Amino acid sequence: MIIGLSSDGKLPDSKIAKRFGHAEYILLYDTETCVYTSVINEKEHSHKDLEKYISSGVKVFIVGNIGPNSFYTLKENEAKIFLARNMKVKDAVSTFIKNELLELSEPTLKKSFAHSEHSKHDARNNEENHCHHEGCENHNNK
């Protein structure tokens, strides 16, 4: 399974971003390989970007907060959204794996801020980082 996490930085020690759509990075965590891939989250993202994450296999998103536009775009595509405030990315992953994060049934914010339909995501902005969270069997093998 691949998990998408909104993050203030590109490393697993970074904090979960306070707002999903305004996160500096989206970290993609593969539970099978225990590898993180960081993707720069351009400020002028579109909901087509969210759909690209889903079509590439991301079915779970972990956020600090999420507005209605992103929330309903993800839900319409059958993604699950979990809340992780004031946590590091690696701690949010560990907490999720233990089934201790709250699954959201509605947005945590009442209003979404302006969005652009132009995506600037680029494969050149991707970076891989190996797992550093407790309990991952594969992180020492990378």
In a domain, 122, yes or no: yes
In a domain, 60, yes or no: yes
Render pLDDT for 90-132 as a digit per residue (tens, 0 to 9). Answer: 999 999 999 999 999 999 988 665 544 333 333 334 444 444 4
In a domain, 142, yes or no: no
CATH number at residue 89: 3.30.420.130
What's the confidence (pLDDT) of residue 111? Answer: 65
Distances (CA, A) of 104 to 23, 72, 87: 18, 11, 17
Number of domains comprising the chain = 1
The boundaries of the domain holding residue 11 are: 2-135
In a domain, 141, yes or no: no
Residue entry with tokens 């399974």 = 1
Buried b / exposed e across 47-68, counting CB within 10 Å, b at 16+? bebbeebbeeebebbbbbbbbe
Q: What angle do CA 131, 135, 139 make, to 5 degrees?
A: 30
In a domain, 107, yes or no: yes
What 3-state class would DSSP assign to 123? helix
pLDDT at residue 61 is higher than 70: yes
Render pLDDT for 8-27 as a digit per residue (tens, 0 to 9). Answer: 999 999 999 998 888 999 99
In a domain, 140, yes or no: no
Helices (H) and strands (E) in the chain, counts: 3, 7
pTM of the model: 0.78
